[in-house]
Structure 1
Amino acid sequence: MAETFTTNVPARLDRLPWSRFHWMVVIALGVTWILDGLEVTLVGSLSPAIAGGLGLSSTQIGLSGSAYILGAVLGALVFGRLTDTFGRRRLFTVTVGVYLAATILTGFSWDFWSFLLFRFLTGAGIGGEYGAVNSAIQELIPARRRGYTDLAINGSFWVGAALGAMGSLIVLDPQIIDQAWGWRLAFIIGGTLALIVIYIRRYIPESPRWLMTHGHPQEAEAVVAAIEADIERRGTKLSAVETLPSLRLRPMRTSWLDIARSLVVRHPKRTVLGVVLMATQAFCYNAIFFTYALVLTRFYGVAPASVGWFILPFAAGNFLGPLLLGHFFDSIGRKPMIALTYGLSGALLCLTGWAFAENMLSAVWQTVAWTVIFFFASAGASAAYLTVGESFPLETRAVTISLFYAFGTLLGGVGGPALFGALIETGERHQILWGYLLGGGLMLLAAVVELFLGVAAERKPLEEVTPPLSIIDDVP
């Protein structure tokens, strides 16, 4: 391992024009969220068929959802730490492999306990992906495009949700597929799709930023040189590297104590910001999404087999939000855009909750309202992951993303659906209004916190936003 060295690898990565390499990164790594959206929506839509096929009670179906969430939390924590230790590339290969095997095995479940185990392992694979993939994307994408790219990729969760909704309409139709096999086939096909992901990821190199901070500066240089050569071979002339700014680093091994110091001592305000952004959006999202079908069927009389049609516009709004608003996070800036999207979605959620309580909406208009709300909320929620990744040192980036993801998932995945489920059980619209007001109020609170504690990271190199722990000094 090198003692001390000087490198301009970050500057070389940030000056690259958008190229075939970056498209490959987006496709190979971004598909994670599509798989996650597919998983979550499929299980929600197929739960009646799964319950019938395996003889499960409603409580057991709920427990399987909790097992998935618990797996995602533990997977994020374990694989996030391993990602910072052994590299982005190794772990995003391992985690998608875990997802593939566990999802296919879910299709072969024979009883409650096997289904519970396979759902837990599937969640572990997806949870592990969050730290490995988010850190790799942020470290490989040029600074001027980092915000838009990260938001668009995170928003692709809803492409998977739309695919899951459409798939449920097919596998729940007994005239197309035997109901004894429909739900099993959905999981088997979903898992098999991950084989394509594994194949494409073979062409994604290790993050040069990770290599340079772990004592492999020559390998980092070689990776960047190969990317540059490919770009120039395709007709784009790059500027000379000699004029680019450099960093002097001393490789170090980080401990949990280093991670704790980074969160509590070096960047306490950013820690508070990350907790607020992640927890509030997780509560709001999971509370609404996991009880979406219950509201439609119980209060609007929508048939369970038709719920998928109502999920499609909701998913479209969630995907279009980051896609259409994402570039403003790089141009106007992180702080005003995050505050705006959180604030708008919070205010609209409170207003929609009041209209629901007063019985002023039909199923269609309820769906329209949710679609508009989460057009803004989705951009804000995706920016929460971006903020956490940018706000802490490179050496702890993956585990930091995982820690905040785990916290948000635990709070939102358990507290939100449980509270809204209990409120819906009362059958009283005005009781449910309190849940909507709480969710909207939390989003408004997050908007205020962002205005005070937000980080202006737009178009800046990651090393300028947060210097690495291993940095010695800047080299002019």
Structure 2
Amino acid sequence: MTREIDVSRLIDDARFNRFHWMVLFWCALIIIFDGYDLVIYGVVLPVLMKEWALSPLQAGALGSYALFGMMAGALVFGPLSDKIGRKKAITICVVLFSGFTVLNGFARNPTEFGLCRFIAGLGIGGVMPNVVALMSEYAPRKIRSTLVAIMFSGYSVGGMLSAGLGMVLLPTWGWQSVFFVAGVPLLLLPIIMKFLPESVGFLIRQGRIDEAQHMLQRVEPSHRPQRGQMLKMPALKADSAPVLELFRDGRALRTLMLWLAFFCCLLMVYALNSWLPKLMSKAGYGLGSSLSFLLVLNFGAIFGAVGGGRLGDRFNLPRVLAVFFALAALSIGLLGFNSPSWVLYSLIAVAGATTIGSQILLYACGAQFYGLAIRSTGLGWASGIGRNGAIVGPVLGGALMSLGVPLSANFLAFAAPGLVACFAMLAFAWTGSRQPERPLTVSSALA
């Protein structure tokens, strides 16, 4: 008698075990390297502007090169991983973002620097949707948001490392030294690829059923493969295009609202990461103090991501995100006004928790919203569309600085997208409560 196994349900109901710890560790490590390579530009920006005599507009444009690459990387490597597998896609992305970040240290002028940042951005943008999709695929349902948030907190750890090493290395070894540190992932890549698991959904679609069964045993040790067993998993219709599936079965409005929230959130994140040290330096703080603000920003993000993930698992994640975005708008808006140091640091920590933290939670929200078969495509497109906001952020900061507007106007401009994102997530939550998603399924037989 043939027995059918619902792969998604087996993973959803699995108890957290050593295998989940392993996936969490390696995915988080990749995100730490990713975050380091991304935040590094804001760390060296004040030095580069002085050494290469860059205007604020030129500096903003130079910062956007990596973000153009990230947008292209997310759009390409998200769907591509559904064809070549998560491990291959992640390997390619790590080689790109680590290798070309190291080459940034050898750049002799803004043109070479920008080219290396663009190619590194392809890897940075491409790896994010893939590790989120992989973690979400193997995480038990009850703690999925929390695990994705913990994993993605590696982004903030990487940002803190970038700011911390910048404070230590820049005065003595120059701006090039912080880029050379980015070569560490290349040394660790063989180990990462040995222990990082492949997507079970990809294995089933490729007909590698024995490997899929072995992976399911690691997810749920009580699972015992049997001859004639059927593995059932969500999948696309054979004649459908993955991107079009994002708009079918009641997903259209929520997909658009998710894209809008990604756009606004990434605009705030990259505006702050790129310009916070420079703005604080302009306000009279030394370079070391300015970098400490960047350190606090990313430190706050860890608490926002993990705390928001726990709240999202307990309550409604889109509504939690709406509250976070409202707090982001308030805290960023208040940064431009004179405040005691402890208040200023507190506001920056809250801003980090509700911007970078919200970016992390948005990935968790998208991973829950989209089914297994379109998860990488959904996250890749949401991230790719959102990268337009990431591109606008540094350019907006450079334009405002060129105009010489007051410090408060800079932060109010960075805060406004938070209100838009708040309304977008409220619309996402409202639409979801009225029109639940209808999943698609297909079965694969055990050979």
Compute the TM-score of the two structures, normalised by the length of structure 2.
Answer: 0.87
- Closer, same or farther in 2 for the Cα pair 1:31/1:100, shift >3 Å? same
Give the superposition deviation at 1:112.
3.3
The number of aligned residues is 437
* Aligned counterpart in structure 2 of residue 225 of structure 1, from 217, 224, 227: 217
Within the alignment, does 1:183 sit opposite 2:183 as a pair? no
Name the amino acid aligned to 2:145.
G
- Closer, same or farther in 2 for the Cα pair 1:289/1:252, shift >3 Å? closer
Q: Which shifted more, 90-99 or 259-268?
A: 259-268
CA separation in 2, counterparts of 1:81 and 1:75? 10
CA separation in 2, counterparts of 1:437 and 1:42? 23
Q: Report if the CA contact (8 A) 2:253-2:428 is conserved.
A: no
**Match in the other structure for 1:42:** 40
CA separation in 2, counterparts of 1:432 and 1:49? 21
Q: Deviations over 1:381-421 (max 9, x none)?
A: 222111222222322221221111111111x2222333343
Name the amino acid aligned to 1:221.
Q
Q: Tell me the SS of whatever aligns to 2:87.
A: helix
Matches within 5 A, 1:58-457: 58=55, 61-174=59-172, 177=173, 182-228=174-220, 238=222, 248=232, 258-266=241-249, 267-298=251-282, 300-350=283-333, 352=334, 356=336, 359-362=337-340, 364-410=342-388, 412-424=389-401, 425-429=403-407, 431-432=409-410, 434-436=412-414, 438-454=416-432
Name the amino acid aligned to 2:374.
T
Q: Deviations over 1:150-172 (max 9, x none)?
A: 11222321111111111111122
CA separation in 2, counterparts of 1:107 and 1:249? 46
- Closer, same or farther in 2 for the Cα pair 1:426/1:104, shift >3 Å? closer
Give the superposition deviation at 1:138.
0.7
Q: Report if the CA contact (8 A) 2:94-2:185 is conserved.
A: no
Q: Tell me the SS of whatever aligns to 1:7.
A: strand
**Match in the other structure for 1:15:** 13
For structure 1, list consecutive stretches of 5 or more residues without a partner in the other structure.
Answer: 230-237, 457-463
- Closer, same or farther in 2 for the Cα pair 1:263/1:454, shift >3 Å? same
- Closer, same or farther in 2 for the Cα pair 1:56/1:427, shift >3 Å? closer
Give the superposition deviation at 1:429.
4.5
Give the superposition deviation at 1:127.
1.0
Q: Report if the CA contact (8 A) 1:169-1:308 is conserved.
A: yes
* Aligned counterpart in structure 2 of residue 57 of structure 1, from 54, 59, 62: 54
Q: Report if the CA contact (8 A) 1:214-1:251 is conserved.
A: no
CA separation in 1, counterparts of 2:220 and 2:443? 27
Q: Which shifted more, 38-47 or 70-79?
A: 38-47
Q: Deviations over 1:14-37 (max 9, x none)?
A: 333222221211121122332232
Q: Report if the CA contact (8 A) 1:390-1:465 is conserved.
A: no
CA separation in 1, counterparts of 2:262 and 2:223? 39
Q: Which shifted more, 285-294 or 315-324?
A: 285-294
* Aligned counterpart in structure 2 of residue 467 of structure 1, from 417, 421, 439: 439
**Match in the other structure for 1:32:** 30
Q: Report if the CA contact (8 A) 1:76-1:128 is conserved.
A: yes
Q: Report if the CA contact (8 A) 2:78-2:377 is conserved.
A: yes
Q: What is the aligned-residue identity percentage? A: 23
Give the superposition deviation at 1:173.
1.7
User: Once superposed, which parts of structure 1, at least 4 consecutive aligned residues long, lie more than 6 Å away?
Assistant: 239-242, 250-255
CA separation in 1, counterparts of 2:18 and 2:115? 39
Aligned Cα root-mean-square deviation (Å): 3.1
Compute the TM-score of the two structures, normalised by the length of structure 1.
Answer: 0.82
Q: Report if the CA contact (8 A) 1:346-1:443 is conserved.
A: no
For structure 2, list consecutive stretches of 5 or more residues without a partner in the other structure.
Answer: none
